[in-house]
Amino acid sequence: MAHPPINPQTNIGKLAVNLYDQDLGFHAHGTQRDVDIGLISGWLEGHLGELNTLIFTSFSGDNPDGLMLEEQTILSEMYLSNYNRKAERNALRKMDGDGKTAGWIMIQEGDSVIKKPNTPTPKYYHDAYVASQERLKNLIYAYNLYGAKPKQVSGKDSPTEQE
């Protein structure tokens, strides 16, 4: 399966590299790193429309003009929220036993049985998801309150044309 090459010179490419290296803290190198960053980059570019809807902008492409730190932070938080939601579902799936891994570790001695999950607890991912959603909501609110430009101005507030 071929993945698009990553251009680390574009806004989206830089953001994907930063997410991979700093926010997610992965330490893979080589081909796996390139594939993962390519997937993140594709996700970011594919969700620019959602970002546009949330903050009333019109970004597009892999190097959108005007994608400043505020917009990049919101897009990054959108990705992290989605990442945590998927990680929570995957952890739940493994606890139920997906056929590939044992979902539970069981210790039995006589009549006593102790079971514990063999995967990260989904609650941690759920808590991270909820916290990420709250940060995202606050970022969007602050951006729209302080950073959004009005689409139309009329009356005494409208700019005058100088000739």
- Each residue of 84-119: pLDDT tens digit? 999 988 888 776 665 455 556 777 788 887 776 665
Could you give phi then psi for residue 106, rounded to 5 degrees? Answer: -125, 130
Could you give phi then psi for residue 105, rounded to 5 degrees? Answer: -105, 130
Contact 16, 34 (CB under 8 A): no
Residues of the chain with pLDDT under 50: 1, 99, 163
Q: What is the pLDDT of residue 100?
A: 55
Q: What is the pLDDT of residue 140?
A: 96
DSSP 109-134: ETTEEEEEESS--HHHHHHHHHHHHH
Q: Provide the b/e sequence for 107-135 (b: ≥16 CB within 10 Å).
A: eeeeeeeeeeeebeebeebbebbeebbee
Q: What is the mean pLDDT of the chain?
A: 82
Sequence-separated (6 or more) residues with CB below 8 Å from residue 149? none
Contact 136, 77 (CB under 8 A): yes
Q: Cα angle vertex 143, ends 52, 81, to 5°?
A: 65
Q: What is the pLDDT of residue 72?
A: 95
